[in-house]
Amino acid sequence: MGATTLSNNRAKTFVARLSGDYPDFKFRAGREEHWSPQSNTITFTLDQNEQQLCFGLLHELAHALLGHANYKGDFELIKLEAQAWELASTIGKKYSIEITEDHIQACLDTYRDWLHRRSTCPTCAMHVLQRDTTTYQCFNCQSIWQVSSGRFVRPYRKTIKIKHV
């Protein structure tokens, strides 16, 4: 696969092939790659090289095939991402596309880094577990902070004051 931006014809050919092989899903170009279970649509971006386009499409297709719709916590999101990469790698072989373990781990590292930032206590820097989808609580100093529920959002933290009873 080349490192240059993919021509519209080559992109259309690959998308058409996936569309024919997986007619239950819609494929459309957009601003960011994602799977929408509500509309059964896999969105991909054309402004990338051929390898990135193929890897992204296969990854989002894997989310669709696995029925990924929601997640309840940050660890579950990382698990879903790992599952999707594993299946994308398997599907890729059908199209003579090899998604290397290094690429998969680099992608998963972005989620691990995101989780690391979110789970760091703003008061004592301890790493803790999530209490609910938008809240963490430190088991060391008892600080509570909220994070965005979005996975593409910078991990801003809003500390909540605790009343000790």
Query: Residue 156: pLDDT band by 50, 70, 90 thresholds?
Result: very low
pLDDT at 160 over 80: no
Q: What is the mean pLDDT of residues 23-34?
A: 94
DSSP state of 6: P
Sorted by where each begins, the domain ranges of the chain are 8-117, 122-165
Confidence of residue 152 (pLDDT cuts 50, 70, 90): low
pLDDT of 158 > 70? The answer is no
CATH 3.30.1460 assigned to 8-117: no
CA 17, CA 33: separation in Å to the nearest integer?
18
Question: How much is the pLDDT for 91?
Answer: 98
Check: CB of residue 27 under 8 Å from CB of residue 16.
Answer: no
What's the pLDDT tens digit per position in 43-64? Answer: 999 888 888 999 999 999 999 9
More confident residue, 92 or 153: 92
- Which of 99-126 are b and which e, b meaning 16 or more Cβ less than 10 Å from the residue's Cβ? beeeebeebeeebeebbeebbbbeeeee
Mean pLDDT across the chain, nearest whole number? 87
Q: Which residues of 73-97 are buried (b: 16+ CB within 10 A; e: fewer)?
A: ebeebbebbeebbebbbebbeeeeb
Instruction: Please tell me the distance from the alpha carbon of residue 115 to that of residue 2, in angstroms, as a whole number.
Output: 32
**Residue written as tokens 């170009």?**
29
